[in-house]
């Protein structure tokens, strides 16, 4: 069970009892052990939301458990509002590029979360499996915090992909795997790998795939470098890409850089097989 770093169970129990009273319609004696545990988690989740705000770090010692809970619940509600607004914006120009997993998660999963999320009695519940993998997955989060972060990452991916021609993206994905649409893989990372390769070779980004000569040059570039040096090389290529084509969007750079270790690792493996 989740615990608070600043409040004892004795300080937290009054809010749990009040929630139980509301949950059962004024008869908290009928609450099962499982429901009582759920309500305890709900209170602690809200407190954690308050404690997790950087601006509150120094205030926590001077704030009661009740106030931390109420402030945390307000944060939960604000995040829920932000998620709804962000999703409304996302869906207007959303493209799944043929990825069934991405399509189902965004068109079905997120609306189901918004419809069924119990912000009062179970704000800690994520409800979704979030099957489409993103580049920066924080499994330590749950509930609205995790889903909001997830959708923010999807928005960054959409912003990244929408700079390119949809046909070129699909062609790139097909080169990766003929049946890519049914893979549970991040399509942004697949496209990014191609783009980083082209940046390293100083080739036009619209060109898909690599010639035998291209691969030979890439192999020479990576030859003799350690895994760490190769990742640094890949990050620099990504940084130049973001500076040149995305107005030096640092938020996008930070997110896309999460894919660099896997991208450069695969690239190094491919070069070693030549």
Q: Which own/partner pairs from 49-57 qualify as long-range (CB within 8 Å, at least 24 positions apart)? A: 49/73, 49/75, 49/76, 49/79, 49/145, 50/75, 51/4, 51/5, 51/6
Largest Cα–Cα distance of the chain, in whole Å? 76
CA-wise closest residue to 121 among 50, 12, 16, 13 = 16
Strand, helix or coil for residue 98: coil
Q: Which of 135, 10, 140, 11 is nearest to 68 (CA)?
A: 11
What does pTM read for this prediction?
Answer: 0.92
Mean pLDDT for each consecutive 10-residue tract of the chain (274 residues)? 73 92 75 90 95 66 88 97 98 97 97 97 95 91 96 98 93 93 95 92 79 86 88 94 95 97 88 70
What whole-number distance in Å separates Cα of residue 107 and Cα of residue 206? 29
Contact 99, 181 (CB under 8 A): yes
If we measure between CA atoms, which residue out of 248, 245, 133 comes closest to residue 196?
245
Please give the DSSP secondary-structure letter assigned to residue 54.
G
pLDDT confidence of residue 52: 83
């Amino acid at each position: 069970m989740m615990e608070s770093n600043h409040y004892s169970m004795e300080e937290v129990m009054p809010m749990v009892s009040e929630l139980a009273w509301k949950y059962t319609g004024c008869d908290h004696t009928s609450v099962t052990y499982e429901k009582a545990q759920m309500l305890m988690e709900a209170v602690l989740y809200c407190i954690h939301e308050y404690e997790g705000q950087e601006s509150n770090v120094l205030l926590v010692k001077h704030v009661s458990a009740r106030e931390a809970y109420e402030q945390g619940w307000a944060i939960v509600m604000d995040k829920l509002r932000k998620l709804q607004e962000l999703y409304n914006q996302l869906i207007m120009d959303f493209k799944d590029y043929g990825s069934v997993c991405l399509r189902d998660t965004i068109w079905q999963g997120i609306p189901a979360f918004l419809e069924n999320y119990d912000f009062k009695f179970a704000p800690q519940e994520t409800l979704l499996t979030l099957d489409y993998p993103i580049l920066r997955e924080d499994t330590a989060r749950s509930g609205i915090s995790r889903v909001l972060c997830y959708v923010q990452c999807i928005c960054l991916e959409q912003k990244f992909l929408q700079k390119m021609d949809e046909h070129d993206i699909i062609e790139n994905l097909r080169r990766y795997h003929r049946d890519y649409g049914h893979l549970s893989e991040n399509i942004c990372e697949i496209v990014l790998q191609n783009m980083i390769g082209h940046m390293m070779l100083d080739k036009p980004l619209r060109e898909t795939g690599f010639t035998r000569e291209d691969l030979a040059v890439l192999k020479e570039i990576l030859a003799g470098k350690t895994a760490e040096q190769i990742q640094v090389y890949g990050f620099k290529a990504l940084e130049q890409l973001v500076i040149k084509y995305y107005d030096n969007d640092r938020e996008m750079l930070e997110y896309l850089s999460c894919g660099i270790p896997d991208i450069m690792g695969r690239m190094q493996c491919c070069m070693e097989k030549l």
